[in-house]
Structure 1
Amino acid sequence: MMSKIKNIIIIFCFCIVGLSTTYAQDNERFQIIENEKIAFITRELNLSRKEAQDFFPIYNEYSKEMWNVKKAKTGNSPSRNNLRGNSRDVIAYDAKELEIKKNYREKFSKVIGTSRSSQFFQVEQEFREYLIKSLNNRKNNN
């Protein structure tokens, strides 16, 4: 009886270690991508050190808001019913994304000017395309 319990505890510990290792690897990959994105945005928008210091805290807020709307839009969030009472109204989510972008374009412009704050959204899209190409290339080379 004791050896069965001991075996169960050992298996449980291995499962916990395996899950936390997977989580750490996913978190590390996410951080690498985020660092690459920051470098890409900084380079493409030609941000000075001061501008980058002021810009990225605002960007992080923007990113978090957009992430929450995208999760709700795809149904991966319990708050998906918050937009106009219809969880499948894709247009309402698109409108919310546009509202967020307009709001943050104003906030960004206070730090980096109107032209570069508008350009930011294009740069963000270019990074996504770059990332998708990189992932596809990695897949095709394996």
Structure 2
Amino acid sequence: MNKFIITIFLLVTTLSFGQRNQDWEKINTLKVAFITEKLSLNTKEAQEFWPVYNEYQEKRNALRKKGHQEIKSKIKDADALTEKEAQKLLALHMQIEEEEEALDNSFLKNVSTVISAKKTLLLLRSEEEFKRQLMKQYRQNKGGK
């Protein structure tokens, strides 16, 4: 675990705007290693788990991108929207939120058939731990500059 924290720290200290895609690839690589270690996935489990997880992540990212493009960019100018435009935007936001929730529920059902329910819960915890560690290192790095 400590080697992951050190690696995350080193990665966050070297993040630069010009290399965002490479940086996200590095973060995802660390996340894969972190989750694999936390879940103690054996070879068979890993072969079945990662395709399901990666497909979920792709769909989740697509929904986030859709939300950002169609909603968040327009919310900045909310004062300029008519009431009708605002209602339409709010309805779209709620629709995307419902799609995300349905996607999350579907993923949890699917993944718990590939790995145990206990490992599925460990996955949820591990994702949160990874995010916390990443943010902690980012804040420490940002404060040190």
TM-score (normalised: structure 2): 0.67
Matched, 1:102 2:96: no
Q: Which residue of 1 aligns with 2:129?
A: 126
Unmatched tracts of structure 1, length 5 or more:
1-21, 78-84
Shift of 1:32: 0.8
- Structure 1 equivalent of residue 68 of structure 2: 74
User: Structure 2: which amino acid aligns with 1:66?
Assistant: R
Q: CA separation of 1:138/1:71 partners in 2, compared to 1, >3 Å: closer, same or farther?
A: same
| Structure 1 residue 93 displacement after superposition | 2.3
Q: Is the 8 A contact 1:73 1:87 kept in 2?
A: no
Q: How much is the aligned-residue C-alpha RMSD, in angstroms? A: 2.2
Does structure 2 retain, via aligned residues, the 8 Å contact 1:73–1:88?
Answer: no
Tell me if structure 1 keeps the 8 A contact 2:38–2:122: no
For the 8 Å contact 1:45–1:119, the answer to whether it is kept is yes
Secondary structure at the aligned position of 1:72 is classed as helix
| TM-score, structure 1 as length reference | 0.68
Consecutive unaligned residues in structure 2, runs of 5 or more: 1-17, 72-86
* Residues 50 and 76 of structure 1, relative CA distance in 2, 3 Å threshold: farther
Q: Aligned match of 1:35 in 6, 29, 34? A: 29
% same residue: 28
Cα shift readout 1:42-97 (whole Å, capped 9, x = no counterpart): 122221122122211111100011111112222368xxxxxxx9443433322221
**Could you tell me whether the CA contact under 8 Å between 1:105 and 1:118 is conserved in 2?**
no
Return the structure number with greater relative CO, CA threshold 8 A, min gap 6. 2
Equivalent position of 2:80 in the other structure: none
2:55 aligns with: 61
Q: Which residue of 2 aligns with 1:91?
A: 94
Larger Rg: 1
Change (3 A) 1:110 1:38: same
